Amino acid sequence: GENVEQHPSTLSVQEGDSAVIKCTYSDSASNYFPWYKQELGKRPQLIIDIRSNVGEKKDQRIAVTLNKTAKHFSLHITETQPEDSAVYFCAAGYRDDKIIFGKGTRLHILP
Amino acid sequence: DTAVSQTPKYLVTQMGNDKSIKCEQNLGHDTMYWYKQDSKKFLKIMFSYNNKELIINETVPNRFSPKSPDKAHLNLHINSLELGDSAVYFCASSRGAPPRAFFGQGTRLTVV
């Protein structure tokens, strides 16, 4: 079935350190993998995405990697800052533009 | 000039009532969605429409009925509200290929 697993559910890192969030998806036909950031009381916002014909994509302090064989993809945030504290969701795009979300990772940046 | 807007932002109502949430997007997108976010923050897809046509209908009680009068609008009507319907409901839209989804600000529904 269509499923996205996300780990960890909670992550605390020291300011300035890196954070990594990992996801797996179930359907090998999935070809689109977005990441969303949701701050408290706000809407989820797209921060970066990757398509299945690309293995890695970087945007300033954020990078995503995709391993299609293993059906894994990851979000890497370097030099973390207090404003990075939020809930992060990975997602996978299935047929009919169906977007299935992981259960979220609550990221805490410690001073 | 908000891209995806929902109304109302907050909705408090009694069990058994019928209520509607409206969503409009001015991005020219063809696909619109409704997602439910529960107290644990899980985002679950409920419905999607493409050009006014129902595409995705997840296992949602038939008390929930979406309506799309045109491709810029997707409303959600809920009959006979139950306590378990309390959640934040997000509308979203995407153009497709890839389906980059943009979310509305959410409607916090509280059933008492």
Mean pLDDT to the nearest integer, A98-109: 95
pLDDT tens for B70-107 read: 999 999 999 999 999 999 999 999 987 788 999 999 99
Instruction: Give contacts of A96 with chain B, Cβ < 8 Å.
Output: 48, 50, 55-56
Instruction: Give contacts of A34 with chain B, Cβ < 8 Å.
Output: 98, 100-101
pLDDT tens for A18-44 read: 999 999 999 888 999 999 999 999 999
Instruction: Give contacts of A29 with chain B, Cβ < 8 Å.
Output: none
Confidence at A53, pLDDT banded by 50, 70, 90: confident
- Proportion of chain A above pLDDT 90, given as a percent: 84
B96: left (phi over 0), alpha (psi -120 to 50) or beta: left
Best of B4, B31, B38, B43 to disrupt the A interface (most A CBs within 10 Å) is B43
Q: What DSSP state is assigned to residue B84?
A: G
Mean pLDDT to the nearest integer, A87-105: 92
- Separation of alpha carbons A16 and A105, rounded Å: 19
Strand-pair partners of B90 = B35
Residue B100 is nearest to which of A38, A43, A49, comparing CB atoms? A49
A66 or B52: whose pLDDT is higher?
A: A66
Mean pLDDT to the nearest integer, B41-61: 88
The chain A residue lying nearest B58, using CA atoms, is: A98
Q: In angstroms, what CA-CA distances link B79 with A42, B21, B59, B70?
A: 27, 12, 16, 22
Instruction: Give contacts of B56 with chain A, Cβ < 8 Å.
Output: 96, 98
Q: How confident is the model at residue B65, as a pLDDT?
A: 94
